[in-house]
């Protein structure tokens, strides 16, 4: 369960000479376990800031963000990594390491949390199979198409078996066909029980999902529909 309780985020709010820029304005939002939520809106609407709050890349200026009843802003530094292992993230630019193969990129996520080698050998092929990339495990990112890279990024996000998957413009660099593939994969992951939060301004993609749609503009939620369509 994700709860945004009157969350406001201001930048440069402390500086007397700057007008504070309000990225989020008293956001009230609840996302239940297992939901698939699409967040849409123009650039600068606050979509990315909203997602960043969940993994404590950003902290609210006012209000409270709760993930499974945990107050995210009040976590100790040492507890933040544990939160991030519960929440997988994928991005428009994939963020793969170019000097590592597909499977090494996925294994990297396990290595840096101190997983044992046996576990890594076990889990990496499994998760590559889920995203349909077991054949390309030894390819380097430059040998993969955009859609394939995003699948590897998804595999990496899934390898910690996260409860929540955040997707920030995951199809922004993909053609329509690849974009549909990625969305299909996200839907499949959602069906396994993972909460998916998708931020996008791709009309076709959002309409293809056909689930709850939250529309944002200028840091505010302007629409929240259970069976939404992309409409701005």
Partner 1 sequence: MELNKENIIRVINQGWINFKRNSWLAFGTVGIMVLALLIFSGLVAFNVVSRAAIASLEEKVDVTAYLKTEASDEAASEIVRELSGRPDVAFVNYVSREQALEDFKKRHQGEELIQQALSELGENPLQASLEIKAVNAVQYASLVGFIESGRFGSLIDKIDFYENQTVIGRIQKISSGLRVGGILVSLILSVIAVLITFNTIRLTIYSQKQEIEIMRLVGASNWHIRGPFLVEGAIYGIIAGLAVLIIFYPVVYLASPKVQTFIPAVSLASYFTGFFGQMLALVMGSGVALGIVSSLIAVRRYLRI
Q: Which is nearer to partner 1, 40 or 124 (CB)?
A: 124
Q: Which is nearer to partner 1, 89 or 92 (CB)?
A: 89
Write down the least CB distance from residue 172 to partner 1, Å: 17
Number of amino acids touching partner 1 (CB under 8 A):
24
CB atoms under 10 Å from CB of 92, counted, come to 18
Binding to partner 1 (CB under 8 A) within 116-175 occurs at 116-117, 156-157, 160
Question: 139: Cβ–Cβ under 8 A, 6 or more apart, which residues?
Answer: 101, 102, 148
* 82 interacts with partner 1 by CB under 8 A: yes
Residue with tokens 């404590």: 56
Binding to partner 1 (CB under 8 A) within 176-215 occurs at none
Q: Which is nearer to partner 1, 36 or 91 (CB)?
A: 91
Q: Which is nearer to partner 1, 147 or 162 (CB)?
A: 162
Q: Strand runs (DSSP E) across the chain, as ranges?
A: 2-11, 21-31, 36-40, 62-67, 70-71, 87-91, 164-168, 195-199, 212-217, 220-225
Judged by CB under 8 A, the stretch of 38-46, 81-89, 134-142, 193-201 that binds partner 1 is: 81-89
Nearest to 227 by CA among 11, 37, 8, 19: 37
Q: Which is nearer to partner 1, 7 or 157 (CB)?
A: 157
Q: Measuring CA to CA, how many Å separate 33 from each of 3, 8, 128, 144, 192?
A: 11, 23, 24, 33, 12
Tokens, residue 44? 């600068």
Residue of the chain from 32, 42, 97, 225 that contacts partner 1 (CB under 8 A): 97
Write down the least CB distance from residue 154 to partner 1, Å: 13
Nearest to 151 by CA among 169, 133, 174: 133
Binding to partner 1 (CB under 8 A) within 39-58 occurs at 55
Q: What is the CA radius of gyration of the chain?
A: 18
Q: Which residues bind partner 1 (CB under 8 A)?
A: 55, 77-78, 80-85, 89, 95, 97, 108-109, 111-117, 156-157, 160
């Amino acid at each position: 369960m994700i709860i945004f309780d009157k969350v406001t985020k201001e930048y440069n709010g402390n500086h007397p000479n700057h007008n504070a820029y309000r990225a989020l304005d008293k956001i009230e939002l609840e996302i239940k376990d297992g939901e698939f939520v699409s967040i849409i809106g123009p650039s600068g609407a606050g979509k990315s800031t909203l997602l960043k709050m969940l993994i404590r890349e950003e902290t609210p200026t006012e209000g409270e963000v709760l993930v499974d009843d945990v107050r995210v802003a009040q976590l100790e530094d040492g507890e933040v990594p544990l939160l991030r292992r519960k929440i997988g993230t994928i991005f428009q630019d994939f963020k793969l390491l170019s000097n590592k193969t597909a499977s090494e990129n996925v294994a990297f996520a396990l290595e840096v949390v101190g997983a044992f080698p046996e576990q890594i050998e076990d889990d990496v092929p499994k998760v590559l199979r889920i995203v349909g990339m077991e054949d390309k495990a030894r390819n380097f990112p430059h040998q993969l198409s955009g859609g394939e890279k995003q699948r590897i990024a998804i595999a990496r996000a899934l390898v910690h078996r996260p409860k929540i998957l955040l997707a920030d413009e995951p199809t922004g660099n993909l053609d329509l066909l690849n974009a549909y593939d990625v969305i299909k994969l996200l839907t499949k992951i959602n069906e396994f029980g993972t909460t998916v939060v998708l931020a996008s301004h791709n009309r076709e993609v959002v309409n293809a999902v056909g689930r709850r749609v939250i529309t944002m503009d200028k840091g505010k939620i302007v629409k929240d529909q259970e069976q939404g369509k992309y409409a701005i």
